[in-house]
Amino acid sequence: MKFAKFLGLVTPSFVAPAPVKEKPEVKLDKIGRVLMDAADYIEKNGWTQGVELREDGRACAMGAISAVIPDHTWFWQTKEPRRLRQGARRRLEIYLSDTRQCYGIMVESWNDWPTRTKKDVINSIRAAATFKDG
């Protein structure tokens, strides 16, 4: 035992363990924040296919994006909410294309694919939030 201590293989019980460094928070731009919030929304409220938003709160990918944008209305959009929604759609579509999940199809079609799962959607939206094209 003394030899193991000498080699540094045994840590004395009175020494506090080194603090665990948590993964640093990723800085998100506005569109990244919308996408991350949309993934959180689906995680909390549920996911659906075939419709943007259900009465019980479940949403598809684009429904969740719309739901988390402040001052967003479903029919009339002011400039900022429309820019955020279009930007989030564009980034998600580029991410999906670059990761070979789909080519040239809209987010709604990707979301509604028969084998798609809630986990697929949440993970892809989160990844797209931090995705940098180019």
At 35 the pLDDT is 97
- Checking if the pLDDT of 15 tops 90, the result is no
Produce one character per residue of 52-71: b if its CB has 16 or more CB atoms within 10 Å, e if not.
bbeeeebbbbbbbbbbbbee
Per-residue CA distances from 86 to 77, 82, 96 (Å)? 11, 6, 15
Domain boundaries, given as residue ranges, for the chain: 27-129
> What Cα–Cα distance (Å) separates residue 95 from each residue in 38, 119, 127?
15, 16, 8
The confidence score (pLDDT) of residue 2 equals 54
Residue 36 has pLDDT above 50, yes or no: yes
Residue 6 has pLDDT above 80, yes or no: no
- Torsion sign across C-alpha atoms 126, 127, 128, 130: positive
pLDDT at 68: 94
Which pLDDT band, with edges at 50, 70 and 90, does 38 fall under? very high
Residue that wins the pLDDT comparison between 28 and 75: 28
Mean pLDDT of 31-35: 95
Q: What is the mean pLDDT of the chain?
A: 81
Q: Is 73 exposed, middle or buried (0-12, 13-18, 19+ CB in 10 A)?
A: exposed
Which pLDDT score, from 0 to 100, does residue 76 have? Answer: 56
Over residues 80-118, the pLDDT tens digits come to 788 899 999 999 999 998 887 776 678 999 999 999 999
3-state secondary structure 13-66: CCCCCCCCCCCCCCCCCHHHHHHHHHHHHHHHHCECCCCCECCCCCECHHHHHH
